[in-house]
Structures are given as structure tokens and as C-alpha cells.
Amino acid sequence: MRLEKCWFCSSTIYPGHGIQFVRNDAKIFRFCRSKCHKNFKMKRNPRKVKWTKAYRRLHGKDMTQDSTFELERKRNRPERYDRNVAENTLKAIKKIDKIRVAREARHHSMRMKGKKAIEQQAAAKELEQSIHLVKAPAALQEDPSLTLPKIRVTVSRSQTEDAWKNNDNAGNPLTWWHRKLNSTLSYARLVY
């Protein structure tokens, strides 16, 4: 029993999964699920489909050349069984896995190295260019710092007091947003 690789996305195909397609020239295509199979039937090139391993390797998103890959090689000649060799192999597989994962993480971090700087630059630029959406240029001239202006609401004094007084007497049940509005009004700064 062997674990094969999907021809389209290069993921492992476990027993009981997927479909194998044999072409007239005797080339075998194995697929891990119908998604890959259907993509193949549509004649899509896996090197152009973003989520496949082929694309990722081709465009440098994933590690391509590494010594860990050379340890895993399909051997066509069967070896005579040796218990010690088998034991060592099993232990080695685990260690190799760990190393490979670490290397891939390193590769990823190398890829992402300059990201923060670029992001910060982009943020600064956006701030500079689009500040007019939240603060009028006139206001900016007055106050060059980038703090946001607050909303000013004009409320007449009499109305608030009457409203408070009439609340309980009227007997109308106050909904929660009524109460919230009232409370914010009372905290709002009165202008003019």
C-alpha cells in the first residue's frame, strides 16, 4: 500500500479516497478529491491555479530545493528486511519531519520579512492622502494634528428638561434607546 500524491494539488491521497484516471497512453493521473478531478477535466493547468502546491513552488511561495526532500525518494528495488534499519528509519522519519517543518517556517518568515515596513509606509501615505475624508482641510489648517473632530449636536435647554420631567408622568414606556439618547444628550457639550 502506498500513499500517492494528487496530480493536481500534490496532497497525499489516503486509501479509500479519490479517483485514478488512466489515459490511453497508459499515464496514470491520481486525484485526491472531485475538486481536483473536475479541474483536470476542465484542462486547467495546476501551475496557474493559486491553491495548488505546483503554483506555490513555482512562484516561490513554498520551499523548492532542500536536502530533506532528497531523503524521501521512491525506490524501485525492494530492500531486504533488516530490523535495525527499519527501527532507525522510523525514528529518522519523525526527526526529518520536524526539521522540514522548521525550515519551511523559516522560509516563510524570510518571505514575509519586509512586510511590516511596507505596511507602515502604505498606512502613512493613505493617512496623508485621504485625511480629507474625516477632517476638512479648513479644520486641518487650524489644527495640524491628526486628531478627529467630534460631532457637535445643538440641543435647546428647555427641551431636555421637559423631556426628563415628562418621562415618568406620561406613563409611556421608555425604550432603551430612548434612555440612551437622553443620556448622551445630557452628556453632550452644549455649544453656542
* Ramachandran class of 68: left when φ > 0, alpha when ψ lies in -120 to 50, beta otherwise: alpha
Q: Is residue 127 at the binding interface for another protein, with CB under 8 A as the rule? A: yes
**Does 26 engage in binding with another protein (CB under 8 A)?**
no
Residue 104: Cβ within 10 Å count: 14
Chosen residue from 26, 42, 112, 151 binding another protein by CB under 8 A: 151
Specify the DSSP class assigned to residue 152: -
CA–CA dist 101, 99 (Å, integer): 5
Give the C-alpha distances (Å, rounded to integers) separating 143 from 33, 134, 153, 176, 192.
Answer: 61, 13, 21, 37, 20
Instruction: Judge contact between 5 and 13, C-beta under 8 A.
Output: yes
Residue 31 CA to residue 13 CA, distance in Å, equals 7
Among 22, 34, 38, 72, binds another protein (CB under 8 A): 72
User: What is the nearest approach in angstroms of another protein to the Cβ of residue 167?
Assistant: 19
| 12 forms part of the interface with another protein (CB under 8 A) | yes
Q: Choose the binding region for another protein from 21-29, 33-41, 83-91, 173-181 (rule: CB under 8 A).
A: 83-91
For another protein, give the closer residue by CB, 1 or 42.
1
The answer to whether 106 contacts another protein (rule: CB under 8 A) is yes
Q: Is 86 in the site for another protein (CB under 8 A)?
A: yes
* Residue 1 binds another protein, judged by CB under 8 A: yes
Q: From CA 127, how far away is CA 121, in angstroms rounded?
A: 10
Applying CB under 8 A, the residues found at the interface with another protein are: 1-3, 12, 67-68, 71-75, 78-83, 85-86, 88-90, 92-97, 99, 102-103, 106, 113, 116-117, 120-121, 123-124, 126-127, 130-131, 133-136, 138-140, 142-143, 145-154
